[in-house]
Amino acid sequence: MWSHFPSKKRAKDEAEKPFWISYADLMTAMMMLFLVVMAFSLIIITNPAPENAHEDEVKKLCLQIKAEAEKITGVTVDCDNDKRVDFGAQALFENNKFILSNETKVKLRQFVPVVYQVVNQDKNNSLLKQVIIEGYSSQVGSYLHNLQLSMRRAESVLCSLFEQPLENEIPLTDEYKAMIRDLFLVGGYSFNNSEGKTDEQMRRVEFKLKFFGYGEKKPEIKPVSITDFGRCQ
């Protein structure tokens, strides 16, 4: 009596047969893959990441500040690297001094309405975070002395923004002064960032524009009624 069993050899042979796809089907599959990749690429290009959109808005606002600020003689604004406002030779100090000329004080005060105007265009007030007044010194003298000197130079600039206007100068309003109080900070940096500069060029002040990062929210600050901003000693 014979029993019928499936042929194991035949099943093994069928399993080992290679699967071949036709050349036409292969080209079709590659074309579909190409179309999928292109579709995703177009989505990314036409719908940039929100981080990139935020950076574009920051760059746009900085360029607006640059366009207005550079109408002031001797002022340049760098929106590509550190986003700094350079007042050039008019913001240099004599050795071991932190006093500004009246002419320089006027130029510094002219920069305030520029910031105020541009900030007001940002309806959500969510881009410009701070304007840091950075003071610098040369490498002549001790480190701690120069650090204090740098700070006093930055303080001198901030104080000059609240001084009484000179004859024929348009005074800063209380709205401008309130913005200075809320946005402008003082920093002392000694002789940092001195590469390629002479001792005379190191004795300077610069403004650094600091912007909110993507997703960073401005803290809520209760409005304060100011009747007297005080006076620097």
Residues 138 and 211: their CA atoms lie apart, in Å, by: 28
**Residues 115 and 99: beta-carbon distance below 8 Å:** no
pLDDT of residue 47: 57
Each residue's pLDDT tens digit, 14-50 = 555 555 566 676 677 778 887 777 766 666 566 557 7
Those residues with Cβ within 8 angstroms of residue 7's Cβ, 6 or more apart along the chain or in another chain: none
pLDDT of residue 203: 92
| H or E stretch at 91 | none
Give the chain's residues under pLDDT 50.
1
Report CA-CA distances (Å) from 5 to 8, 14, 82, 94, 198: 9, 17, 82, 106, 98
Residues 83 and 92: their CA atoms lie apart, in Å, by: 19
pLDDT of residue 7: 52
pLDDT of residue 16: 52
Each residue's pLDDT tens digit, 68-90 = 999 999 999 999 888 999 999 98
**Residues 206 and 86: beta-carbon distance below 8 Å:** yes
pLDDT of residue 226: 66
Enter the pTM of the model. 0.74
